[in-house]
Structure 1
């Protein structure tokens, strides 16, 4: 095992100093305002989507129940990451200190909800595949009990995998005292970069679990869209293509945004970690994507438009 450069400070508790991006010091307050705005809009849009589905009984179908589960998961991911990010940006020095246990908790929560999002997107792909390829048996194959089992399974699976990643990361040694992290929150790449001693087993474990989550979810989504393509090819005519795209377009857009950023961040070894690019991608993944997802689904969905209009008219009449 390589000797640690930490020195003899065993009595000093281990903490993590979130540095953000030093190159963005002059714009940190502007970034803080921007992220706060996106954070508030994310909360409002996701809560509005949940309210619309709750109020309109026509939307009490598996597609929208899964969408509500995704909105809840994205909101929880934002809650786990963004407040700490705002504290760091708004502080006098543009930094924030997290305790060892606080960093571990943040990584577990953010990782758990991020993994849950991957599994939920795979479940939503299966739902769309059943709707297009086997519409006559859709209510049987995607009943409410099946939908609930899928959601619970996604949540449990997400946090089990995140627990494994968290165990692998914090199995490594960190210096007593402040460990600087060039990031806005406790994420896997900066923690790998800050670790001391032997890190190869943890890196391998994290890469394997990341492949399991991202690769497994992508394979499931590709299989779902393969069955959709086969079903569409059996029905000749442009109308079938249009209906399939209208049914799956929003989901595909969210899948590309989600897995594109996540794969680039987590499916790489430690020696290819680049500060500025990875930090900005993590921000996109944790802040921008949760803001865009409800907009993508809402803007492309007439049923959501109609339900939202009914909800707003109802509130106006009651007021």
Structure 2
């Protein structure tokens, strides 16, 4: 019996390198895709950097809301930089190989920044809740120390959990193939390569997603249910419009991010298809970060005024 088990373990091929299939099924579009991803990446970097710049330089934007927005823009730059440069490298060099350690590192940082986004969106909704539902105590509650603590908690909160989850996933044996049918190292396509039953690992993914994504999302919905109830009680239409305008941008970003990410990670393994996974992943890893600066700037008069002031100074 022990000999049979030993033989089975020996027969399991030890994968030391993966191949990211990416968009190789579109050979005639490699140059076009490289150009598109390059332009999108530049838009994301420039757009988010501008938000960081104007929120730090303009005295009118020295408020908790814009402090968290600057943190969010910094996060978006980090978030897309985990995946997009690797995509560009694969498209340019046509080299889709990635070592096991590099794949694990990419996944770990991707999960950490994804968790940070969930937590930071929750903190931003709490900030809007206090501002609208408890305005008289807002400066006292959202003081600089409290804001710094909330931001630091968002950045650091997911690190131990996601390091543990990454270690658990890459402690599995991979024997089905070394080809990841995706454009970056993500959990669903990696689980497909694992030997044997992965139900325990899938369960752990669900638990972590519920803790770092679903629970914060419930808190966001709770905050906004109270915000909307408070706004509807305001006596004037102008007051209601002004209060809602400060929240609508954030709510739109929440829906875009959580909608696509939740569908990706909470579906059973049997329901995952490479095409759908890639499309959803493109949405929450690249498309949403590209639109976030536009959403926050075009729907916020203070940001537009600060941007206009910055341009005129040049």
Does TM-score exceed 0.5, indicating one fold?
A: yes
What is the rounded CA distance, in whole Å, between the counterparts of 1:142 and 1:235 in structure 2? 22
Aligned to 1:194, the other structure's residue is in SS state coil
Deviation track 1:263-312 (CA, whole Å, cap 9, x = no partner) reads 01111121111110111111121111111111100011111111111112
Change (3 A) 1:8 1:66: closer
Correspondence for 1:149: 149
CA distance in 1, matches of 2:267, 2:10: 26
Equivalent position to 1:32, from 31, 34, 43:
34
Take 2:54 and 2:209, find their aligned partners in 1: how far apart are those partners? 34
- The alpha-carbon distance between structure 1 residues 205 and 46, as it changes in their structure 2 partners (threshold 3 A), is same
Moved more, 167-176 or 201-210: 167-176
CA contact (8 A) 2:257 2:284 kept: yes
> Residues 19, 4 of structure 1: CA spacing in aligned structure 2 closer, same or farther, 3 A cutoff?
farther
- The answer for the alignment partner of 1:100 in structure 2 is 100
Alpha-carbon deviation of 1:4? 7.1
1:68 equivalenced with 2:70 (yes/no): yes
Change (3 A) 1:294 1:82: same
Instruction: Please give the per-residue CA displacement for 1:217-263, whole angstroms capped at 9, x wherever unaligned.
Output: 11110111122123223333423331222111101110111001100
Distance 1:79 1:111 in 2: 13
SS in 2 for 1:16: strand
* Paired residues for 1:41-52 under 5 Å: 41-52=43-54
Report how many aligned residue pairs link the two structures.
Answer: 309
CA contact (8 A) 1:38 1:291 kept: yes
Aligned-partner SS, 2:76? helix
Q: Which residue of 2 aligns with 1:282?
A: 281
Q: Is the 8 A contact 1:172 1:197 kept in 2?
A: no
| SS class of match (2:178) | strand
- Deviation, 1:200, is 1.4
Aligned match of 2:270:
271
Q: Given the alignment, which residue of 59, 62, 84 partners 2:61?
A: 59
- Are the counterparts in 1 of residues 52 and 73 from structure 2 also a CA contact under 8 Å? yes
Contact 2:13 2:174 in 1 (8 A): no
Q: Give a deviation string over 1:136-180, Cα, whole Å, max 9, x none.
A: 11111111111111111111112233223212311221249x710
Q: Could you list the per-position Cα deviations for residues 89-125 of structure 1 after superposition, in whole angstroms to 9, with x for gaps in the alignment?
A: 2233xx5111111001000111111111111111101
Find the counterpart in structure 2 of residue 219 from structure 1.
Answer: 218
1:232 aligns with 2:234: no
Listed as ranges, the gaps of 5+ residues in structure 2 are none
Could you tell me whether the CA contact under 8 Å between 2:12 and 2:175 is conserved in 1? Answer: no
Residue aligning to 2:17? 15
The ranges of structure 1 where at least 4 consecutive aligned residues each deviate by more than 6 angstroms after the TM superposition are 3-6
Question: TM-score, normalising length from structure 1?
Answer: 0.91
Q: Which residue of 1 aligns with 2:249?
A: 250
Verify the 8 A CA contact 1:250 1:296 in the aligned structure 2: yes
> 1:96 and 1:22, CA in 2 relative to 1: closer, same or farther beyond 3 A?
closer
2:133 maps to 133
Counterpart Cα distance in 2 of 1:305 and 1:241: 21
CA RMSD in angstroms comes to 2.0
Unaligned runs of 5+ in 1: none
